[in-house]
Structure 1
């Protein structure tokens, strides 16, 4: 029970990595507060956890809207009077070479992936400063370390998050707040599965092609990233600060020839 009674907030937790992390946190004894714009999935995730004896709450939150974010944090504080862990997981993707990306899509990706991290952290950090403790985990990507075709907009936000994480750690270390980032590779989430079905005539062949990027020749599972999030949220990682933890099947390590 590595997170016993810790109040843990997760954004974008209706499905995929966020939902897997919520379940993992709950198994470790956390009080889980999950937020998403997809409420049916979020409520379903909470019902699953509470039926197993966990304490969990679901809230509709738009991380790009400061009013929505502020109302959520106020609600959390009224329930628990503290926040121990924040996992900034909410994110969207964008596909296309830079000149193909519309400004509307660019603005959306930046708003969710980057401004969303800023807005939620901005509300939570004063609470953690007052507590003189806390953990923040930001969702970056292995794409922050490598180039990947047709992902310029997405890469721009994930690279920014990694850099922001390091600067945040310098600023908030005096308050015993640890700030780290997760850098997943290709994780087989519902989002990825849907994208492959919509984008390729043969999704099965596309999956096999993606597997070849990984040194282990397998795609990651949401649970792989969730396990890493548990580690960063727990006291086991007390000496890990300002780090980017790759969970990418070896993509950033190199290629086999």
Structure 2
């Protein structure tokens, strides 16, 4: 049984007035994160390369009374990150929440994996998060209860056949998270990793027995609202003493 998505009417405003930037925010997990954070009172910037989807998602949020802005951002581009920094700085002079959610997947056996593909996956999934942190640290230092969430995956610590580049990028995200947490703790900036298991998306929603579901004790994929709830916790004051760690939301996959 999947959960009923939360609505703004049923949520506390733990994030009232805080400014959040979510990469990969046009659809899927990123859009769910944006909706949840906005529902809890945050001003949200949705960043993506899917401009039509992103603009539509931002408009849907605004139609519900939320403060949402879409911006084009290729996370592998330092110039795009600088433009995002300028926009957030000009509008709010600070950033309280950064969710490094953008990611791509490639499924190719290691022997057949092209170097260009390897580099592209790491440039988006791992270098993108590095650039986001590096660029936004000055604004996070000016924020309130500043927090970063980096999206990893159960394939980071466990590996998976055919996912060499993806698993390597997600394992690297864990190391980046721990190091950033250590370096930024003196500034009061918390950095944690979200480690999802299988997640329902429009692409795989009709394949209930596919992917990692047979190896997941709860017997299903996560709904995106469940991951968004985990992100909302990590960036809220309820997690004020939580940094440098992993929040695993995998239905028991890693316990099997």
* Contact 1:16/1:189 (8 A) holds in 2: yes
Deviation at 1:135, TM superposition (A): 0.6
Equivalents in 2 of 1:180, 1:20: separation in Å?
18
Equivalents in 2 of 1:13, 1:86: separation in Å?
12
TM-score computed with the length of structure 1 as normaliser: 0.91
* Contact 2:18/2:144 (8 A) holds in 1: no
Match of 1:162 in 2: 174
Match of 1:249 in 2: 251
Query: Is 1:69 aligned to 2:81, yes or no?
Result: yes
Could you say what secondary structure the match of 1:5 adopts? coil
TM-score computed with the length of structure 2 as normaliser: 0.91
Match of 1:105 in 2: 117
Equivalents in 1 of 2:254, 2:241: separation in Å?
23
Deviation at 1:209, TM superposition (A): 3.6
Deviation at 1:192, TM superposition (A): 4.6
After superposition, give the CA deviation of every residue in 1:153-201 in whole Å (9 maximum; x if it has no partner): 10000000001100111111000000000000110123556xxxxxxxx
User: Which residues of structure 1 form unaligned runs of 5+?
Assistant: 194-202
Match of 2:233 in 1: 231
Match of 2:215 in 1: 213
Match of 1:141 in 2: 153
Match of 2:59 in 1: 47
User: Which residues of structure 2 form unaligned runs of 5+?
Assistant: 1-12
Deviation at 1:132, TM superposition (A): 7.7
Deviation at 1:147, TM superposition (A): 2.6
Equivalents in 1 of 2:249, 2:144: separation in Å?
29
Deviation at 1:110, TM superposition (A): 0.7
Could you say what secondary structure the match of 1:126 adopts? helix
Could you say what secondary structure the match of 1:110 adopts? helix
The structure-2 alpha-carbon separation of the partners of 1:78 and 1:39, relative to structure 1 and needing over 3 Å to count, comes to same
Q: In the TM superposition, what are the counterparts of 1:14-53 in structure 2 within 5 Å?
A: 14-53=26-65
Equivalents in 2 of 1:55, 1:103: separation in Å?
41
Deviation at 1:253, TM superposition (A): 1.4
Equivalents in 2 of 1:124, 1:253: separation in Å?
35
* Contact 2:192/2:244 (8 A) holds in 1: yes
The structure with the greater share of residues assigned to helix is 1
* Contact 1:137/1:180 (8 A) holds in 2: yes
Equivalents in 2 of 1:138, 1:31: separation in Å?
19
